[in-house]
Structure 1
Amino acid sequence: MKVSPSTLLIIYLSEARLSEPANRLWDAALGRIQLQIPRPTFDTWLRNTHALRLEGNHLVVSVPSTFTAQWLEDRLQKLILKTLSSISSQEITVAFVVGTENPRRNSFSEPVNPNAPSSINNPLGVTAFYPEYTFKNFIVGPSNQLAYAAAYALASGSPSAYNPLFLYGGVGLGKTHLMNAIGQLATSMGKRVIYVSAEQFTNEYLRAIKERKTDGFRDRYRSVDLLMVDDIQFLNGKEATQDGLFHTFNELHRSGGKLVMSSDRPAGELRLLEARLRSRFEAGLQADLSAPEFETKLAILNALTEKISNPIAREYLEFIATHVHDNVRTLQGVHNRLLAFIEFTGQEPSYELAKMALGPSALKEIPPILDQGMILDFSSKAYGISVKALISPQRTKEASKARQLAAYLLKSKLRFSPDQIGQILGKRDRTTITYAIGQAKEALITDPQFKEFVLSLEKNKQHSGLFNKNIESA
């Protein structure tokens, strides 16, 4: 039967409406599940899955193979169902199907499967990269600035580029993003690039020895302009493979080629690597990617929220950035969970939803949410005066100290600007507030009582006894 174009459009739109909530729910679930299971398990069985549709409370998830579907049903289904139901606040059932419909990547999909043979059969040695991972959308901050600059210099062919470049850092801090960005830029400039995992390099090398095809292996790896090896720490203790990489690097270096490696630790800590190979790595540039600071985390969240139709207000993003301490991947997972909570509960964004998105373990660590009124009340009671006196023109020692404390807390805890703080504290000008904050920072070093007030708030202690004691002595 012939189907009209208008009917096809209706079918397409219907599928789109079904798949988007499904994608959100599944991404949120993956974000939470990846924090509860080993990384190899997540990478092997869940990373390359995606949601197809959500029909009522039944979620259909596409998986790469029948074996994957069976494994998930046998080993992880209980955790998956519990996570889905927790996020959506209702019982969710799930079905795993093998298929290629809706080939959308989830937020955790690898840009390239390091163990896939896609680049092995490519005579030019060009690897397919994940297009979303570019230099343009990499959020740069103090925690990754050196790594970014070094990666860009090498990929763009700068004379100042170091060779080899050794990127290291913990899970989810941007190594994969930078590796893909390097590969894409270098490829766009006509360079021949191979990007493999240490495991794939090992497997190919040992297979070449076994099948007596070492000439082909050498030709493949030593004729490229740029070789990138991911997770180099897995070569620890594999002496034969280390020997192959050492000679490959020497040949590449001699012919003008470049080498980029990533690891979860500095080269000097890879004790089971041969000394000669470790010294090669250390002779180049080692650049670390560490946990992002608050400003970088906030910039990452802003970039994520710009992609959705109803952006989340800044105060909720700041709340998340304040309480996610480990890596970018966790930050993305929390953001996805917040979006899912908003969508599936029908509620407006709020601090309570943001706390739920952070997960049960984080909830226990989060103190009651501060606001402007709480800080004014805290600061005035600390020095035995009223809030009215705090914001008045009064210039007593107690009032001045209370204003310094309030200004410091409004700036450090709520991240208000000096202009905003001035309006709160009796319409004082920016210069006065800036001076007060400076005095507060000095008092943290020289005034034990002032420091005690700040620390007591940070530790979420009960302050009544502290206030009463101070009021009596005032």
Structure 2
Amino acid sequence: METGNLVEAAATPVVTRLAPTEPASVAGAKDRWDRVRRRLRAELGEDVFSSWFARVEIGAVVEGVAHLTVPTRFLKSWLEAHYAERLRAHCMAELDAPNGVALSVRQVARESSEPCQDLSAQRARPAQARPATPMSDVAPASAATPASDRDPMDACGTLLDRRMTFQSFVVGKSNALAFAAAERISAAPAGSTPYNPLYLHAGVGLGKTHLIQAIAQDARQHGKRVAYFTADRFMYGFVAALKSQTALAFKEKLRGIDLLIVDDVQFIQGRSIQQEFGHTINALIDAGKQIVVAADRLPTDLEALDERIRSRLAGGLVVEIGELDEALRVKILTTRLDGLKAAHPSFHVNPDVIAYVAKLVATNGRDLDGAANRILAHATLTGASVTMETAEAAIRDLVRTREPRRVKIEDIQKLVATRYNVSRADILSERRTAAVVKPRQIAMYLAKALTPRSLPEIGRRFGGRDHTTVLHAVRKIEKAIVEDRLLHDEVDLLKRMLQE
């Protein structure tokens, strides 16, 4: 854990309004901040970066201090507690900020979150109806009403993306089961729980967020009371309720809904927050209310979560959204390009070019979106028709700059444990049964083959074993995969899963 003061020169964060800055200097600071973001993304990985740094913005660099803003107090506290030194080091290097970093919460005018509107309707005091107000006309909550009069749920929900509907979701072999379950749940009448909880897990950019947001929007159209949260918004809502002494109202409102949806549940941390999350899940399930949860891994692999929560989540329908096969990538890319053509009637891409691009961009849906936008830009800016050559030039950065995934020993241990139906603790233990020894040796072999770690280091990461034990395991698996074709294919599959 990285801790420390973000600003060396002051004990408290700078939160005063900054003096106006020249446009050129602001633009320069934003360019340098983009370099900091690229560093953070490369070091921490896409998942961590998207969860904690995607919404951090640069204000200005004043007197050697980089002033950064975040949308919530929870995010500010989390960054100060966990990433203070890392932020400070990168900002000193890229932003010419020798005096460190100051974080503050920006006041952003936005409309009320729809999930909170459902919950707020249950308040004891009558609410006066009012017409919808454009986002630009909404004042910050702190300026509109006193804190004592605001509903404790006003700041906790997460806005839905209107584009993420069942109609815009492209279905293929890898996501058909998840899509069918999602549709069944959203259309089921209130009080009916076809699969409870529904647990969706997938890697980055494979559509799990799209699918659960589609559930939320469709279920609301069926008259259900829906609460949709990302993990950080759930944590922030609970912490804010505790600080404002409205935790009881927060809990009662959560238990009064028909459908609870939580995205990126792997990021829920803190003992008291996990306890409340577990109590909420139990109360809703016992009351016949539906739970939908999304994460990046199986429930059994959420080691940071309380064991009782993991057990509860694993007790429902667990569905993996798999990697996008080539046929599905073609369908997704075709859909994206058709959407762009609606705004640019002269824009046209031949099916052969679409198939070619879908073959090259084999990672996830977000990269396919990027490919579609690059092809459009290339065609409209140059005026040239889209050929194989122009498409390849347009997406070159997507294909060439992608580096092989950096494999971690912990990831190897988790994947092998799941594949062979043992626990990671078994692999690290002293147990010598055949059911444990073989997975342990395969994991050691993969650690040697896929990571730069030395034999002694690998031994230490496998329960403090001697390097000779690791060497024996590596040689045994090397020999076995030559003699056993099934084992060869199994180990090769594990390698590809770890490197993708």
For normalisation by structure 2, the TM-score amounts to 0.50
**CA contact under 8 A between 2:225 and 2:257: conserved in structure 1?**
yes
The 5-angstrom pairing of residues 39-78 of structure 1 reads 39=46
- Quickly say closer, same or farther: Cα 1:167–1:34, change in 2 above 3 A: farther
Q: Secondary structure at the match of 1:278?
A: helix
The CA deviation at 1:121 is 7.4
Report what 2:274 is aligned to: 242
The CA deviation at 1:34 is 12
The CA deviation at 1:35 is 12
Report what 2:225 is aligned to: 192
**Is the aligned partner of 1:145 residue 2:182?**
no
One-letter code aligned to 2:120: N
**Is the aligned partner of 1:331 residue 2:368?**
yes
Taking the aligned partners of 2:40 and 2:356, their CA distance within structure 1 comes to: 20
Q: Secondary structure at the match of 1:194?
A: strand
One-letter code aligned to 1:123: A
Report what 2:318 is aligned to: 286
Report what 1:352 is aligned to: 389
Taking the aligned partners of 1:113 and 1:314, their CA distance within structure 2 comes to: 43
**CA contact under 8 A between 1:231 and 1:262: conserved in structure 2?**
yes
Taking the aligned partners of 1:162 and 1:118, their CA distance within structure 2 comes to: 24
The CA deviation at 1:43 is 7.1
Q: CA RMSD in A?
A: 4.1
Report what 1:133 is aligned to: 164
The CA deviation at 1:47 is 7.3
**Is the aligned partner of 1:161 residue 2:198?**
no
Taking the aligned partners of 2:112 and 2:41, their CA distance within structure 1 comes to: 22
Taking the aligned partners of 2:218 and 2:184, their CA distance within structure 1 comes to: 11
Alignment counterpart, residue 212 of structure 2, candidates 176, 179, 198: 179
One-letter code aligned to 1:153: R
Taking the aligned partners of 2:333 and 2:40, their CA distance within structure 1 comes to: 19
**How many residues get paired?**
288
Report what 1:24 is aligned to: none
Alignment counterpart, residue 378 of structure 2, candidates 336, 341, 356: 341
Taking the aligned partners of 1:256 and 1:244, their CA distance within structure 2 comes to: 18
The CA deviation at 1:130 is 2.1
The 5-angstrom pairing of residues 310-459 of structure 1 reads 310-360=347-397, 362-363=399-400
Report what 2:307 is aligned to: 275
Please, which runs of 5 or more residues in structure 2 have no aligned partner?
A: 1-33, 58-66, 71-86, 95-105, 123-152, 403-500
**Which structure ranks higher in relative contact order (CA pairs < 8 Å, sequence separation ≥ 6)?**
1
For normalisation by structure 1, the TM-score amounts to 0.53
Please, which runs of 5 or more residues in structure 1 have no aligned partner?
A: 1-28, 50-64, 79-97, 104-111, 366-474
Report what 1:457 is aligned to: none
Q: Deviations over 1:358-396 (max 9, x none)?
A: 23462599xxxxxxxxxxxxxxxxxxxxxxxxxxxxxxx
**Is the aligned partner of 1:233 residue 2:266?**
yes
One-letter code aligned to 2:168: N
Q: Deviations over 1:327-368 (max 9, x none)?
A: 101111111111111111221101122212323462599xxx
Taking the aligned partners of 1:284 and 1:163, their CA distance within structure 2 comes to: 5
The 5-angstrom pairing of residues 75-114 of structure 1 reads none
The CA deviation at 1:127 is 6.7
Taking the aligned partners of 1:176 and 1:244, their CA distance within structure 2 comes to: 23
Q: Secondary structure at the match of 1:195?
A: strand
Report what 1:60 is aligned to: none
Taking the aligned partners of 2:369 and 2:176, their CA distance within structure 1 comes to: 20
**Is the aligned partner of 1:257 residue 2:292?**
no
Q: Deviations over 1:307-330 (max 9, x none)?
A: 212231111110111111211011
Taking the aligned partners of 2:249 and 2:171, their CA distance within structure 1 comes to: 40
Between the aligned residues of both structures, percent identity stands at 31
Report what 2:241 is aligned to: 208
- Quickly say closer, same or farther: Cα 1:35–1:181, change in 2 above 3 A: farther
